[in-house]
A and B are shown apart, each in its own frame.
Chain A
């Protein structure tokens, strides 16, 4: 009975969320607000892809933005040369990043734990140095400019519409969000999700019960990389410029904050984290009316990260779960008496 009821609530909630995400931009009439919305969705996608690797299989990769940045460069360099459209560009970036992840994964998963984190940080710095120095390929600090915007052929006419408005970009990004959420939930539920957690908790024991750790780690890394790569490709076609700063270590910090303060290996936690840490900077700017030195925001982020690790070891998600349980058990007691 109650299972059916909660299922009904769930479906209703999902429908409401979909309606909100479809209709919301129509009630925001400034480019600033819609841009903030795009950024929020970007962080949700990015953080979910990061959580697959760092949260579910426990391999804290500090090089995750490399897939995002490299995906953006694939579109800026290769996609532009081949004259690809929006969809094929995303696909090319996703496939090439998944391929890169498989190769890198076979090598990097030879090392574990903290050494893995340090090694991937090294790889991230190498990628950034190369992006900054390979002028012929990436344009170095002068950036890779002139990425074509997505176009839409209007049916039954000869006209081709170039997409320039933020609101249209928002709708272009939504399918990517949907695919990411569905993939994330499909991979982390059922047997596969339990295998992920088993690998995270104890590789030796999980291989003893027939779970081949490398297979699951590679799966998580490749899927996470593909999503990040596609997101990078979208970003390249949205901003039309790709700079080495897309690979900056600051992006890793934000991902860590979203996932570790929100809740590791928890869909709800990552969603909450991504929402909060996309909205906080906007609030600090007072809706674009005030410029805030990024340093203040960064200090706030760092402090939140430290405080979160000290006082919320299970993240905001754990906090919510605890309160919900207390609320429920309180209600049950009332019923009994």
Chain B
């Protein structure tokens, strides 16, 4: 294999794992966004809180928990934070306009980031797992096992979610709520309860994302801001009200960012992905895979 091809494949694999990582972060937000039409600017901070939960759980001196158990606990933590957030701040304003949603969740984001800064200081924390140090080389391309696990988990979660939404009663209810909330209330669906459950599921997926992704990077209080915007970018690019579109867009952003960072400029790789997102907005305001306009 020629060196150039090898480099190309390395960037491609990197881009795919990066895309998988973005997709996992996006899923939870896309769910609440589509089902109950709430834009949550504190989503990335939910990820941050779950990441600190991971830091605390891994750092426990008394009991050294195995990684899979920790993942489960962090998922539970993510679901718990999301449910509390829904009950306290989002529940009372759920029927208000998007402006109220946006401003309230931005307020939540400020509170979470600064509370984390007071508790954990701004020093970045590292949480390596056994998998991050294991280097695998499929097809001669070196990558860490953690990244491949993420890619695998994204596929599993994605397929699982498709099955859940299509074939379970709760999933069908969620789809119905996303399509017509008023009509659902007429036929006796408890929309508020569905909202709470959706937040719970979204939180659990975000917890899973944090437990898998945080070990690859460092954990710090303001890590959520960029993640929120990346997830929102993927959702808007995919077309509002279209979870699958958001996932495809997350992969597109990941691959493009990886190639741009590898071949053109590493410093401007985020600029290119956000620039692309804005460009898509101008050219196709409904998003790449969109069917309807969001608002």
Within the complex, the shortest CB–CB distance from B283 to chain A, in Å, comes to: 9
Which chain A residues lie closer than 8 Å to B294 at the CB level?
A: 113-115
Hey, what's the 0/1 contact readout for B72-114 against A, CB within 8 Å counting as 1?
A: 0000000000000000010011001011111110111111011
Chain B CB within 8 A of A129 CB: yes
| B225 in the interface (beta carbon within 8 A) | yes
Contact residues in B for A302 (Cβ distance below 8 Å): 107-111, 114
Residues of A within 8 A of B285 (CB): 110-111, 115
Q: When the two chains form their complex, are residues A298 and B107 in contact, meaning their CB atoms are under 8 A apart?
A: no
Contact of A122 among B106, B110, B111, B277 (CB under 8 A): B277
CA separation between A309 and B225, bound complex, in Å? 21
Q: Which residue of A lies closest to B276 (CB)?
A: A122
Task: Kindly state whether residue A291 has any CB partner on chain B within 8 Å.
Answer: no
Cross-chain contact A107 with B282 (CB below 8 angstroms): yes
Partner of B278, one of A113, A122, A129, A306: A122
Interchain CB contact under 8 A, A310 and B114? no
Is A260 positioned at the interface, with any CB of B under 8 Å from its CB? yes
Contact B98 A256, beta carbon cutoff 8 Å = no
Select one of B103, B233, B274 contacting A309, CB under 8 A.
B103
Least Cβ–Cβ distance between A141 and chain B, in angstroms:
12
A129-B270 contact in complex given A122-B229, A123-B278, A310-B89, C-beta closer than 8 Å = yes
Interface residues of A in 290-309 (CB under 8 A from B): 293-296, 298-299, 301-303, 305-306, 309
CA gap between A107 and B109 in the complex, in Å: 28
Among B100, B114, B270, contact of A313 (Cβ-Cβ < 8 Å): B100
Interface residues of A in 37-92 (CB under 8 A from B): 58, 60
B3 close to A (CB within 8 Å): no
- Known A114-B295, A118-B233, A303-B107; judge A310-B271 contact (CB<8 A): no
- The reply to whether B107 and A305 contact each other, CB–CB distance below 8 Å, is yes
In chain B between 268 and 287, which residues have their CB closer than 8 angstroms to a CB of chain A?
268, 270-271, 274-275, 277-278, 281-282, 285
Does B49 sit at the interface, judged by CB under 8 A? no
A293: nearest residue on chain B (CB-CB)? Answer: B118
The answer to whether B271 and A130 have CB atoms under 8 Å apart is yes
In the complex, the answer to whether A253 meets B106 with C-beta atoms within 8 Å is yes
- Is B267's beta carbon under 8 Å from chain A? yes
Interface centre among A122, A249, A293 (most CB of B within 10 A): A122
Q: How many A-B residue pairs have CB under 8 A?
A: 119
Mostly helix, strand, loop or mixed at chain A's interface? helix
Q: Which residues of A contact B270 (CB under 8 A)?
A: 125, 129
Confirm or deny: B240 has a beta carbon within 8 angstroms of a beta carbon on chain A: yes
In the complex, what residue of chain B is closest to A309 when comparing beta carbons? Answer: B104
Smallest Cβ-Cβ distance to B99: which chain A residue: A60
Q: B162: CB under 8 A from chain A?
A: no
Could you say which of B93, B111, B113, B117 has the most chain A C-beta atoms within 10 Å of its C-beta? B111
Q: Is the CB of B110 within 8 A of A299?
A: yes
Of B39, B115, B236, B278, the most chain A CB neighbours within 10 A belong to B278
Contacts of A60 in B (CB 8 A): 99, 102-103
Contacts of B229 in A (CB 8 A): 118, 121-122, 125
Closest B residue by C-beta to A294: B114
Q: Is residue B226 contacting chain A, with contact meaning CB distance below 8 A?
A: yes
Contact of B111 among A113, A114, A256, A303 (CB under 8 A): A303
Could you say which of B99, B111, B268 contacts A133, with CB atoms under 8 Å apart?
Answer: B268
* Chain A residues packing against B (C-beta within 8 Å): 58, 60, 107, 110-115, 117-119, 121-123, 125-126, 129-130, 133, 249, 253, 256-257, 260, 293-296, 298-299, 301-303, 305-306, 309-310, 313
Q: A117-B102, A129-B270, A260-B103 are in contact. List 13 more A-B contacts (CB 8 A).
A: A113-B98, A114-B101, A126-B274, A133-B267, A253-B110, A256-B106, A299-B114, A299-B115, A305-B103, A305-B104, A305-B107, A306-B111, A309-B107
8 A-B contacts, Cβ less than 8 Å apart? Answer: A117-B39, A126-B274, A129-B274, A298-B111, A299-B111, A302-B109, A306-B104, A309-B93
Chain B interface (Cβ < 8 Å from any Cβ of A) = 39, 89, 92-93, 96, 98-104, 106-111, 113-115, 117-118, 225-226, 229, 232-233, 236, 240, 267-268, 270-271, 274-275, 277-278, 281-282, 285, 294-295
